[in-house]
Structure 1
Amino acid sequence: MLASATMIMGGTLATYSYIAPLLTDRAGLPADLVPLALVGFGVSALAGSFLGGRLGDTRPYAATLTAAGATAAILLAICLAARHTMPTVVLVALLGLTSMTVNPILIALAVRFAQQAPTLASALSTSAFNLGTAVGSWMAGRALESPAQELGPPIIGTVIAALTLVPLAALAHAHRKGRRSTESSTSTTISPLHTKEYSS
């Protein structure tokens, strides 16, 4: 869970930390309109946090996998559409929605897994997000100085976000395996009772 938290935030902030050069120098957005694009990201991020809180109560594993996959796809689309102003602005807003949908679910899962130490789990989740922000931004800064220039940060972000699917898939697989084991043991316990009823 902590690895997932680090990666999803690293992938998102690798791009967002250097979004202004991408919007102005490559997408052609006037510099005085960049704050509006950032507001779009912020509003969508708020909606994503609310959506994640709702989905986390019902299907947390499916929601995190879907949102993380959508985040990686949007980052890839930003790389491909970076020469076009409006599509890039819209994609940046959607990035806030999908990436921030994952965060509240991961925090809730961390608290659940911690059992007797929920406060520690919440603190570690925040630390994981901060670590992802620091590492992702550092890598994106190096990529910005590479021949890829403004396209470097979203490329780094795409790779990191795609890697988030690995620990998330492992969590979902472990959950399904544990649920099947529980159902199997429950079935084994109930079965003799039914047999006794029929025999009587």
Structure 2
Amino acid sequence: MPAACATTTGGVLSAYSYIAPLLTGRAGIAAGLVPLVLVGFGVGALAGSLAGGRLGDARPHTTTIAAAAGATVLLPAICLLSTHAGATVVLVALLGFFGLGANPVLISLPVRFAGDAPTLASALSVSAFNVGTAAGSWIAGRALDSALGATGPAVVGAAIAALTLIPTITIAVVQRRRSALPAH
């Protein structure tokens, strides 16, 4: 799960960290309105965390896979539609919802299986989120200065978010196989 924590947050926050140049330079949103778009991301993230926590209680693997897939689709959509202000604002809010919606599950699963070390599992998850944020933001900053320009961070974010599908799908398959084994 630490890999999923790092990639899910790394993907979303690499794009989010450098969203202002995309909003002002490509979408044509006035600099004074950027904070309102960021509020939209925050509201989306809050709603996503609440929904992800609720859904994750019943279907944790489906929730983590759906959130990662959603972020993986939304980030390229932001690049492609970034010249349309309204669409970009909606996509940024949806990115908050899907991009951070799995975080409660990504913390609870390791804690659930940590045995006698739930605090260590939680700390490891949070550390992985921070590593993903730092690494993703660093790479995205380099992409911002590349030929990709203002869309560079979202391109990097899409690639990193897509990597989240590897551990989340792998863990879901392993869990399903374990559940299918006859009890001894």
Q: 4+ residue runs of structure 1 moved beyond 3 angstroms?
A: none
1:185 paired to 2:183: yes
Residue 170 of structure 1: aligned partner: 170
Query: How far apart, CA to CA, are the structure 2 residues paired with 1:69 and 1:53?
Result: 17
1:75 aligns with 2:75: yes
In 2, Cα distance between equivalents of 1:185 and 1:148: 54
Structure 1 position 91, deviation (Å): 0.2
Distance 1:131 1:72 in 2: 19
Instruction: Identify the residue that residue 9 of structure 1 maps to in structure 2.
Output: 9
TM-score, scaled to structure 1: 0.90
Give the deviation of 1:67 after TM superposition.
Answer: 1.1
Residue aligning to 2:29: 29
Residue 64 of structure 1 aligns with which residue?
64
TM-score by length of 2: 0.98
Deviation at 1:185, TM superposition (A): 2.4
- SS of the equivalent of 1:56 reads helix
* Cα distance between partner residues in 2 of 1:107 and 1:17: 22
1:113 positional shift: 1.9
Q: Offset of 1:172 from its aligned partner?
A: 0.2
Match of 2:85 in 1: 85
Gaps of at least 5 residues in structure 1 are: 187-200
Give the letter aligned to residue 41 of structure 1. Answer: F
Q: Which residue of 2 aligns with 1:142?
A: 142
Paired with 1:113 and 1:86, the residues of 2 have a C-alpha distance of: 43
Could you say which residue in structure 2 is the equivalent of 1:97?
97
Q: Any idea what SS the aligned residue of 2:57 has?
A: coil
Paired residue type of 2:7: M
Which range is displaced more, 113-122 or 134-143?
113-122
Q: Which amino acid aligns with 2:75?
A: L
Question: Taking every aligned residue pair, what percent have the same amino acid on both sides?
Answer: 57
User: Which residues of 2 match residues 18-57 of structure 1 at below 5 A?
Assistant: 18-57=18-57
Q: What CA RMSD, in Å, does the superposition of the two structures yield over aligned residues? A: 0.8
Shift of 1:101: 1.0
d(CA) in 2 for partners of 1:46, 1:185: 40
Distance in structure 1 (CA, Å) of the matches to 2:83 and 2:115? 48
**Deviation digits for residues 67-91 of structure 1, max 9, x if unmatched?**
1101110111001101111100110
CA distance in 2, matches of 1:95, 1:115: 33
